[in-house]
């Protein structure tokens, strides 16, 4: 049992979440429909990916699961798997950046392209950096008092959850290249980062099993750690298969290797 409850008066966070997520669905559909008049039809599967990804994030942030997460570490962890691992993976296949690029008029599109090519994006989208932001963030969340503060202040709660979703997304993007990707790195480098990052996830899950965060009961902590470990394994496997498949396609005989 966590001893730190968000007061029921703090309703604005789930409400704001629902508004933002619903807005993203509307915007996505509107942009796709609008650009369909000028370009090829935006494929149906990408709408499905985007909608399911948003649904996964929504379940994690504003649902009975999100309420239970204030009291139970296991529910918290299930929500984090959805928000930090599953939602990013599915959202990426909705190709939002490709859609944005296709929607923008030439001039703003050039600005966006310049931004994507900038040194800043080069650094923050480097697989090593995205892995640090993603998994380093998890270590800070569970191994410092941040986990307690998160349940005391709704602002900290909001920031942590936005970070989990964004860091998960940028990490997945920097490994899989399923959407528009500017700075590319070799398969070997990405494979090494992927292995190290998943190892860090497993190590954190095991130490959480042994020593749950402050305020979490032993039993609840163990269950949460198992969910983190084995649930993480499942999504890791999906990521590894997709990554290896992208290698398989890139290494096809007769295909001109692209300059990475």
Partner 1 sequence: MASNEQAAAGESTHALNKRSLWSGILFGIGSMAFIDEVIFHQLLQWHHFYDLATPQIGILADGLLNSFAWFAAVGGLFLFADLKRRQAVRMKYWIASILIGSGAFQLFDGIIDHKVLKVHQVRYHVELWPYDLSWNLFGAALLIAGIALAESAKKERPV
Binding site for partner 1 (CB under 8 A): 185-189, 191, 194-196, 198-200, 202-203, 206-207, 209-210, 226, 229, 233, 236-237, 240-241, 244-245, 247-248, 250-257, 259-260
Residue closest to 76 by CA, chosen among 167, 6, 16: 6
Taking the complex as a whole, the smallest distance from the CB of residue 26 to partner 1 amounts, in Å, to 38
Q: Are 137 and 164 in contact (CB under 8 A)?
A: yes
Pick 98 or 181: Cβ nearer partner 1 = 181
Residue 251 exposed, middle or buried by CB count within 10 Å (0-12, 13-18, 19+):
exposed
Pick 35 or 172: Cβ nearer partner 1 = 172
Taking the complex as a whole, the smallest distance from the CB of residue 141 to partner 1 amounts, in Å, to 18
Residue 99 exposed, middle or buried by CB count within 10 Å (0-12, 13-18, 19+):
buried
DSSP per-residue letters across 139-191: HHHHHSTHHHHHTT-HHHHHHHHHHHHHHHHHHHHHHH--S--SS---HHHHH
Tokens of 109: 């599109």
Pick 11 or 195: Cβ nearer partner 1 = 195
Taking the complex as a whole, the smallest distance from the CB of residue 204 to partner 1 amounts, in Å, to 9
Taking the complex as a whole, the smallest distance from the CB of residue 225 to partner 1 amounts, in Å, to 8
Pick 67 or 222: Cβ nearer partner 1 = 222
CA distance 190 to 187: 5
Pick 12 or 245: Cβ nearer partner 1 = 245
Taking the complex as a whole, the smallest distance from the CB of residue 189 to partner 1 amounts, in Å, to 7
């Amino acid at each position: 049992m966590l001893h730190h409850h968000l007061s029921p008066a703090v309703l604005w966070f789930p409400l704001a979440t629902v508004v933002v997520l619903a807005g993203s669905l509307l915007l996505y559909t509107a942009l796709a429909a609008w650009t369909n008049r000028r370009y090829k039809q935006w494929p149906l599967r990408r709408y499905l990916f985007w909608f399911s990804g948003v649904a996964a994030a929504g379940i994690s942030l504003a649902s009975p699961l999100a309420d239970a997460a204030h009291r139970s570490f296991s529910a918290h962890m299930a929500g984090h798997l959805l928000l930090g691992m599953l939602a990013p993976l599915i959202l990426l296949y909705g190709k939002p950046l490709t859609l944005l690029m296709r929607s923008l008029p030439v001039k703003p599109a050039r600005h966006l392209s310049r931004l994507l090519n900038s040194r800043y994006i080069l650094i923050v989208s480097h697989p090593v950096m995205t892995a640090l932001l993603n998994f380093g963030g998890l270590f800070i969340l569970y191994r410092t008092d941040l986990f307690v503060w998160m349940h005391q202040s709704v602002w900290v709660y909001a920031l942590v959850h936005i970070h989990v979703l964004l860091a998960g997304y940028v990490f997945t993007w920097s490994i899989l290249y399923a959407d528009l990707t500017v700075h590319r790195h070799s398969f070997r480098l990405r494979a090494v980062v992927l292995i190290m990052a998943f190892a860090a996830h497993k190590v954190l899950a095991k130490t959480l099993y042994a020593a749950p965060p402050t305020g979490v009961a032993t039993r609840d902590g163990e269950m949460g750690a198992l969910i983190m470990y084995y649930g993480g394994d499942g999504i890791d496997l999906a990521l590894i298969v997709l990554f290896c498949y992208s290698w398989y396609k890139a290494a096809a005989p007769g295909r001109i290797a692209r300059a990475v």
